[in-house]
Amino acid sequence: MAKKISEKTSGISLAGFQPKSKVFDGQTPSSEPRVVSAQLVREPVKPFTGAGAFMNSITGKDEVSKALAETSAKLDDANKVLAKFEGATLVKALDAHKVKRSQWANRNEAEFATVEFEELKADIAAAGGNVQPIKVRVAGVFDGQTGYEIVFGHRRHQACLLLGLPVNSIIEESMTDLALFEEMDRENRARKSLSAWEQGRMYQEALTKGLYPSLRKLSESLGVNLADASRSVDLAKLPKVVVDAFQTPLDLQVRWSKFLKDALQKNPDGVLAIAKELSTQKGKLLPTQVFERLISKEADPVKVEMEIKVEGRKGAVFRTDAKGRVTLEFESGVLSVGRQKELFGIVKDFLTR
């Protein structure tokens, strides 16, 4: 083979041939800067066998699968925790000062001076807060802070406010006036019912502000007796001076509504005058006595007959009859003409005092 190659190349001459650049023999240093082709920069070594590529693929998938399995396990644990609270109502402790009464608030201030309210406040103080939460709706943002309006729970809120405690609350992000009104009414009737006057004021306010087109529609929507609702509204319409005749509006009873209304229609000036006088005697008369005075009805009279003796002798007889009339009958010769005039002056003075 070498011989054949030598024969074929024996006629070839390299005379006059000059390379365009110096030949780098791998040993002689070159004075020119060495340029390294980008193609000569090797990529990181990759598996170049089928088995290597397969093992590398399996290892990467295992790591991803392991991470997915761990995430799935955590998600399952979280779902189990959430399942325990399914259907539960979330309660948040709010600063009582950020919770206000709504325009539909139905508890009169007198309610917070009752024995029942003091007992409620004592229970809340002992528990360190209201165990039974109130309900509120978000009423907007004021000075950068969220404000709330009471849906129901005015007494519990007031107790927490007076005690300086946060009030535990169920929060509705959005609620219409109609929904608020109806929930408040149902809650109050299920717990400590409003007084007849408070209930009437609440219904009258709803009608005045157009929450319901009529009292009948209101009674149907709330599921209350129409006649009772009507009598309660009549109480709410009583003149302030009549309401003030009672020690507190809470004393007014729904069964008195018709009698007070009739009395005002028959003799408005007389009833108002009596009411004004009674307002100066608050606390001295029972609610029933105030009511009877307003409708000019005294207690059923009792027949009385008393003998008045002077120095052991019968001088006069004091009598009352079934109609409430009073008579004072003197024995003959007991009163002279002069003493009769004196007696007249005494009786007149007594009646005008």
Cα 34 versus chain centre, distance: 86
**What pLDDT was estimated at residue 105?**
82
Q: Is 335 exposed, middle or buried (0-12, 13-18, 19+ CB in 10 A)?
A: middle
Q: Domain boundaries in the chain?
A: 89-192, 194-237, 238-299, 304-352
Task: Find out whether 188 and 111 touch, Cβ atoms under 8 Å.
Answer: no
User: Across the strands, what pairs with 304?
Assistant: 320
Structure tokens at 116: 């029942």
Rounded to two decimals, the pTM is 0.52
**What pLDDT was estimated at residue 1?**
52
**What pLDDT was estimated at residue 8?**
53
Scored b (16 or more CB within 10 A) or e, 286-300 reads: ebeebbbbbbeeeee
Structure tokens at 67: 């991470």
Structure tokens at 89: 């109502």
Domain 89-192 has CATH 3.90.1530.30: yes
C-alpha 164/C-alpha 166 separation (Å) is 7
**What pLDDT was estimated at residue 39?**
47
Which ranges in the chain belong to alpha helices (H)? 2-9, 50-84, 115-127, 154-163, 177-190, 196-208, 215-222, 226-236, 240-243, 257-266, 268-278, 287-294, 337-352
| Tens place of pLDDT per residue across the chain (353 aa) | 555 555 555 555 555 545 544 444 444 444 554 544 444 445 555 555 555 555 555 556 677 777 787 787 788 776 776 565 455 568 899 999 999 988 888 777 777 888 888 989 999 999 999 999 999 999 887 777 888 999 999 999 999 999 999 999 999 988 999 999 999 888 877 766 678 888 899 999 999 999 999 999 999 999 989 999 999 999 999 999 999 999 988 899 999 999 999 999 999 999 999 999 999 888 788 999 999 999 986 444 556 688 888 877 888 888 887 666 888 888 888 888 888 888 888 888 887 76
Task: Find out whether 148 and 139 touch, Cβ atoms under 8 Å.
Answer: yes
